[in-house]
Amino acid sequence: MRDAVLEAARFLAAGRTQQLTLEDVADHVGYSPFHLARAFERQVGLPPGKFLAAQRFQLAKELLLDTGEKVVDICHEVGFSAPGTFTTRFTASVGVSPHRFRLLPDLLSDHPPVPVRIPGADLRGGVVTGRALLSPAAFAALYGGPAVYVGLFSGSAARGVPVSGSLLGPDLEFTLTGVPPGTYRLLACALPSAADPREQLMPRIRAVGAAPRPVRIRPGPVALRQDVRLDLAPAWSPPVLVALPPLASSGAQEWRSAARPARIG
């Protein structure tokens, strides 16, 4: 079944501009839609439909950065029929609107990311500490050293803006503060720190990781410790849609005007 799931992921990625259905994918790999959907989500971490949407938004990010096409034309090119729906869903997934995403390379050139902690909304909320642990393969592949982002997200994928997040310093230790009560996923992504702004937004090489269990924050200033391990992302894995570098750039914080990032060091 693993081979079928990987082939399904490749099929969806290759057909990201087409109007594919679950039945189309199931026919392609020779499994029932029900069994394929369950196995796909279990192995990839997203249902097939959300995986396809993520591939479309990833293509949209490429087109926004590398072409002068209008947003409405990009919307149609990546398989959406309604520009308003495309913009709303892109913003929810990436953390910034398509128009603002297109401006990020210039913003990041003027205000490069620096190690930073962005607290959550609950001043008396929980605290999650830990350390990012990169595999030897990931560390070697991220030329110039890794830029490691860690955040708490309400879903299983890194979408939009984290509840609390950090671009780590050289010691790779993190402290996420102000976390409201709830259940979250602790997710991490490492990018090549020496890359130019465009490649930081669309990295060819990335390492990803997630804490093995959900993080549960109870009311009150409770502190938890949870390390997270990162390894090179397989080619078939879902793209990391959230725009990470702007989270650590002082010039790209307009989307969260109430936040007061605390620079590390």
Q: Which residues contact 34 (CB under 8 A, 6 or more apart)?
A: none
**Which pLDDT tens digit goes with each residue over 92-143?**
999 999 999 999 999 999 999 999 999 999 988 999 999 999 999 999 999 8
pLDDT for residue 43:
86
pLDDT for residue 258:
43
232: left (phi over 0), alpha (psi -120 to 50) or beta: beta
Say yes or no to pLDDT of 183 above 60. yes
Tokens (6 digits) for 194: 């020496």
Q: What is the band of 15 on the pLDDT scale with cuts at 50, 70, 90?
A: confident
What is the distance of C-alpha 95 from the center of its chain? Answer: 9
Q: What is the band of 55 on the pLDDT scale with cuts at 50, 70, 90?
A: very high
Q: Which residues contact 228 (CB under 8 A, 6 or more apart)?
A: 130, 131, 132, 133, 150, 186, 187, 188, 209, 210, 211
- 2-94: CATH superfamily: Homeodomain-like (1.10.10.60)
Q: Return d(Cα 119, Cα 175) in angstroms, integer.
A: 9
Q: Return d(Cα 51, Cα 46) in angstroms, integer.
A: 6
Average pLDDT on 187-194 reads: 92
Which architecture does CATH list for 111-263?
Sandwich (2.60)
For Cα atoms 117, 119, 121, give the angle at the middle one, nearest 5 degrees. 165
Averaged pLDDT score across all residues of the chain: 89
Say yes or no to pLDDT of 19 above 50. yes
The residues of the chain that CATH labels 1.10.10.60 are 2-94
**Which pLDDT tens digit goes with each residue over 27-50?**
988 889 888 899 998 888 889 999
Contact of 170 with 209, CB cutoff 8 Å: no
Instruction: Determine what percent of the chain is predicted with pLDDT higher than 70.
Output: 95
pLDDT for residue 186:
96
Higher-pLDDT residue of 148, 6: 148
Q: Could you tell me where the beta strands, DSSP code E, fall in the chain?
A: 116-118, 126-134, 146-153, 164-167, 173-179, 182-192, 207-210, 215-217, 223-225, 228-232, 262-263
The residues of the chain that CATH labels 2.60.40.1120 are 111-263
pLDDT for residue 254:
57
